[in-house]
């Protein structure tokens, strides 16, 4: 791989390579939209990784990346629905991995019940934008037998965000004094509580419709125009994901992000520096949960059907596997982890399973049932050979000379302060 790394760092050859590779992968992807899709899709996604790593003009890289995610994927997706479906799930999972990364990677609080917040967001919208709410609130929804129309999707985005953040605080409060293994167990329990609650809240008042789940969920609409096609969901997911990346990048190198890192590294020293642990922990739980809340809604409208089975412990583990695979505390890491795990789960595993059917293996050997094994292997291999992940977190570099150069006053030798 040395030649590749040299190629990507060569300021002369890298731009040419990036353009050639991205265009070639895009063309292949589009031509073979219906065949060999997984491998061409992986090729296309690799071009995004190269764009991240390559040494070239920032605008050129952004332009090529935009071409891939905003043109090639939706265009190909018109032909190939399965592919678009995977792409939507990638957007959702990137935002989930970034959110969990805030809690586990930045603040160092191991959370094994993260899917609970995803479920919160999904259920908050689904209950009201489906025939479910009219069932238990017949008077309020007298004229709306199908629940609220899709125009309310946008209104419900902040509602879901705050509901999930509230659930984050509800989880945060009882676990404030816990750390390590104990914290992991309680968060795991919290995730299960939310799932079991959704499973059983069909009586005495039928709020969640229990294991039968909720359907049909209103598709989003804007000014009466329905945005109900998968390609719309893709763009909604994409925009929300890009917002998530922007916000988390901003918070990473800020007063709040540093306080989280300090708390993670040494809580005694952090407190001695005046960092209020309670507030910071709750803030981390709420922030991480908020992103899951928004994405829960995208998931709900994409599926048009949700039930508690979509929010199992396995999902929490999958998101954690993404974060650890990519690199704890690393934003590019969470992204590459989410992409890898999603493609592995949805594409590679199913295709391998399909391919294996020709050998008439007993059903117990169905690869689709081996997901937990795959996650376990990912976690073990990463911990053993590459603890900091595929794209490890890098220390934020500050150009000291530039910082002091435009200083309004010449830097005195002693810090100015009151006595």
Q: Smaller CB distance to other proteins: residue 115 or 165?
A: 165
CB of 94 to other proteins, least distance (A): 18
Dihedral Cα 35, 41, 44, 46, nearest 10 deg: -140
Do 148 and 128 meet the contact criterion of CB atoms below 8 Å apart?
A: yes
What is the Cα–Cα distance from 85 to 94, expressed in whole angstroms? 14
176 binding other proteins? (CB under 8 A): no
CB of 393 to other proteins, least distance (A): 8
224 binding other proteins? (CB under 8 A): no
Of 57, 95, 55, 393, nearest to 238 (Cα)? 95
Do 73 and 87 meet the contact criterion of CB atoms below 8 Å apart?
A: yes
255 binding other proteins? (CB under 8 A): yes
Q: Smaller CB distance to other proteins: residue 82 or 277?
A: 277
CB of 167 to other proteins, least distance (A): 17
405 binding other proteins? (CB under 8 A): no
What is the Cα–Cα distance from 179 to 107, expressed in whole angstroms? 12
386 binding other proteins? (CB under 8 A): no
Which stretch, 245-253, 292-300, 302-310, 361-369, contacts other proteins (CB under 8 A)? 245-253
Determine which residue in the list 262, 295, 321, 339 makes contact with other proteins, applying CB under 8 A: 262
Do 138 and 144 meet the contact criterion of CB atoms below 8 Å apart?
A: no
143 binding other proteins? (CB under 8 A): no
Q: Smaller CB distance to other proteins: residue 173 or 193?
A: 173
Of 147, 132, 148, 145, nearest to 210 (Cα)? 132
CB of 245 to other proteins, least distance (A): 12
| 3-state class (DSSP) for residue 146 | coil
410 binding other proteins? (CB under 8 A): no
Query: What is the sign, positive or negative, of the torsion defined by CA atoms of 365, 369, 374, 379?
Result: negative
Token digits of residue 98: 């970034």
Which stretch, 76-84, 234-242, 314-322, 410-418, contacts other proteins (CB under 8 A)? 410-418
CB of 323 to other proteins, least distance (A): 17
Query: What is the sign, positive or negative, of the torsion defined by CA atoms of 361, 365, 369, 370?
Result: negative
CB of 257 to other proteins, least distance (A): 8
CB of 271 to other proteins, least distance (A): 4
What is the Cα–Cα distance from 340 to 93, expressed in whole angstroms? 10
Which stretches of the chain bind other proteins, using CB under 8 A?
247, 250-251, 254-259, 261-262, 265-266, 268-277, 283, 287, 395-398, 400, 403-404, 407, 411-415, 417, 419
């Amino acid at each position: 791989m040395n030649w590749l790394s040299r190629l990507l760092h060569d300021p002369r050859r890298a731009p040419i390579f990036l353009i050639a590779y991205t265009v070639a992968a895009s063309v292949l992807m589009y031509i073979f939209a219906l065949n060999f899709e997984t491998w061409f899709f992986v090729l296309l996604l690799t071009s995004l990784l190269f764009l991240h790593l390559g040494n070239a003009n920032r605008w050129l890289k952004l332009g090529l990346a935009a071409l891939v995610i905003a043109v090639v994927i939706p265009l190909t997706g018109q032909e190939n629905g399965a592919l678009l479906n995977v792409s939507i799930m990638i957007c959702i999972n990137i935002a989930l991995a970034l959110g969990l990364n805030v809690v586990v990677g930045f603040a160092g609080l191991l959370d094994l019940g993260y899917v609970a917040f995803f479920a919160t967001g999904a259920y908050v919208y689904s209950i009201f934008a489906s025939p479910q709410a009219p069932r238990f609130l017949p008077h309020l929804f007298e004229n709306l037998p199908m629940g609220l129309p899709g125009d309310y999707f946008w209104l419900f985005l902040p509602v879901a965000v705050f509901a999930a953040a509230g659930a984050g605080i509800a989880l945060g409060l009882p676990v404030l004094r816990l750390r390590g293994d104990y914290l992991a167990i309680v968060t795991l329990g919290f995730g299960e509580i939310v799932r079991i609650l959704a499973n059983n809240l069909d009586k005495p008042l039928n709020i969640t419709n229990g294991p039968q789940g909720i359907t049909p969920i209103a598709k989003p609409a804007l000014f009466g125009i329905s945005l109900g096609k998968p390609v719309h969901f893709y763009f909604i997911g994409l925009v929300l994901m890009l917002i998530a990346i922007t916000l988390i990048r901003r918070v990473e190198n800020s007063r709040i992000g540093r306080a989280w890192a300090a708390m993670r590294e040494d809580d005694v020293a952090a407190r001695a520096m005046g960092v209020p642990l309670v507030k910071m922990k709750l803030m981390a739980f709420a922030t991480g949960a908020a992103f899951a809340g928004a994405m829960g809604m995208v998931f709900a409208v994409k599926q048009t059907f949700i039930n508690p089975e979509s929010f199992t412990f396995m999902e929490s583990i999958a998101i954690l596997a993404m974060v650890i695979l990519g690199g704890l505390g690393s934003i590019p890491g969470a992204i590459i982890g989410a992409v890898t795990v999603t493609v592995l789960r949805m594409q590679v595993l199913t295709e391998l399973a399909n391919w294996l059917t020709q050998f008439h293996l007993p059903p117990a050997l169905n690869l689709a049932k081996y997901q937990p094994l795959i996650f376990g292997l990912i976690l073990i291999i990463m911990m053993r050979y590459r603890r900091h992940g595929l794209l490890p977190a890098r220390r934020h570099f500050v150009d000291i000379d530039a910082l002091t150069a435009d200083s309004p006053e010449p830097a005195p030798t002693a810090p100015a302060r009151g006595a």
